[in-house]
């Protein structure tokens, strides 16, 4: 039972992170496999997951590496993809309350991915007291699944899945399913202009130029559409 004064502890956070870990592991596994197919070894693939820890960025990193994009261009492209994370901390701490501790935020906030943020915000909205130890546990469950899944996928390699074409195909769709689920989870009337412009710009950029250009066009066009919205 958690202490009502101190809030739930590290173990409760780990437990709360279990559903996220179950979702992350197969996606990270498929990232490890994809990294191997892109020519990275197991250490390089695991390093990407340890250092970047952002699924979509990592898959894009593979595409940029495969296309031979300069390191600085690739780095800034990946940075632009995660600007939305700027909003997570303030939103979470607003829900946690003005007296919520943040002494160790330099460590636990590294784990504030889309799913961890959503899980934490939901728990606070249901009346749970904010606890840095709980945040550590929640984040570590997700981070461990992500890096462990990557290492296992890179180690097993694409050959491990070639004997199971349906499983291989399902894992290949995992990322699209994650993006679609995330899109539905943040879908609001206010976000529709940004989403619509992003979709059109991505298709147009891809059809008339390249896949990378389509991604950049979609993100920038969608974000600008949000700025112009009254």
Partner 1 sequence: MNPDLVIMALMAGAANWAFRALPVMLMKGEARPGGIAARFLASTGPAAIATLFVASVLPQVWPVPRDVWPLAAGVAATVLAFLPRRSVVAGTLAGAAGYAAAFWMLA
Site for partner 1 in 28-67 (CB under 8 A): 40, 43-44, 47-48, 51-54, 56-57, 61, 64-65
Site string for partner 1, 189-208 (x = CB under 8 A): -xx--xx-xxx-xxx--xx-
Near partner 1 by CB under 8 A: residue from 66, 79, 97, 209: 79
Residue/partner pairs of 35-44 with CB below 8 Å, 24 or more apart: 35/62, 35/150, 35/153, 35/154, 36/153, 36/154, 36/157, 36/158, 37/158, 38/62, 38/65, 38/66, 39/65, 39/66, 40/65, 40/154, 41/154, 42/151, 42/154, 42/155
155 binds partner 1 (CB under 8 A): no
Instruction: CB nearer to partner 1: give 156 or 200.
Output: 200
Count residues binding partner 1 (CB under 8 A): 98
Which residues within the stretch 171-190 sit at the binding site for partner 1 (CB under 8 A)?
A: 171-187, 190
97 binds partner 1 (CB under 8 A): no
Instruction: List, in order, residues 6 or more apart from 93 with CB less than 8 Å away.
Output: 100, 102
Near partner 1 by CB under 8 A: residue from 3, 6, 37, 211: 211
Residue 86: Cβ-neighbour burial (10 angstroms; 0-12, 13-18, 19+) = exposed
Closest distance to partner 1 from the beta carbon of 168 (Å): 8
Residues 186/173, Cβ–Cβ less than 8 Å: no
Helix, strand, coil percentages (3-state) for the chain, rounded to 5, are 80, 0, 20
Closest distance to partner 1 from the beta carbon of 144 (Å): 16
15 binds partner 1 (CB under 8 A): no
Instruction: CB nearer to partner 1: give 36 or 222.
Output: 222
23 binds partner 1 (CB under 8 A): yes
How many CA atoms within 13 Å lie on the side-chain side of 36? Answer: 18
Instruction: CB nearer to partner 1: give 4 or 56.
Output: 56
Closest distance to partner 1 from the beta carbon of 61 (Å): 6
**Sign of the torsion angle spanned by Cα atoms 214, 216, 221, 223:** positive
94 binds partner 1 (CB under 8 A): yes
3-class DSSP assignment, residue 192: helix
Q: Binding segment for partner 1 among 8-16, 69-77, 123-131, 150-158 (CB under 8 A)?
A: 69-77
């Amino acid at each position: 039972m958690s202490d009502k004064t101190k809030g739930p502890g590290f173990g409760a956070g780990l437990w709360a992170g279990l559903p996220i870990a179950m979702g992350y592991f197969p996606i990270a596994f498929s990232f490890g496999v994809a990294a191997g197919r892109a020519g990275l070894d197991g250490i390089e693939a695991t390093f990407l997951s340890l250092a970047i820890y952002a699924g979509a960025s990592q898959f894009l990193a593979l595409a940029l590496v495969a296309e031979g994009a300069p390191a600085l261009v690739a780095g800034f492209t990946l940075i632009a993809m995660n600007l939305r994370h700027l909003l997570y901390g303030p939103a979470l701490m607003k829900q946690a309350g003005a007296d919520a501790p943040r002494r160790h935020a330099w460590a636990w906030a590294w784990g504030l991915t889309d799913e961890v943020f959503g899980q934490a915000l939901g728990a606070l909205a249901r009346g749970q007291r904010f606890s840095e130890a709980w945040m550590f546990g929640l984040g570590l469950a997700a981070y461990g699944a992500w890096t462990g899944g990557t290492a296992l996928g890179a180690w097993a390699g694409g050959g491990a899945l070639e004997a199971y074409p349906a499983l291989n195909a399902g894992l290949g769709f995992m990322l699209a399913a994650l993006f679609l689920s995330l899109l539905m989870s943040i879908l609001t009337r206010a976000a529709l202009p940004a989403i619509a412009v992003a979709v059109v710009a991505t298709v147009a950029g891809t059809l008339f130029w390249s896949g990378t250009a389509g991604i950049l066009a979609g993100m920038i066009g969608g974000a600008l559409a949000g700025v112009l919205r009254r």
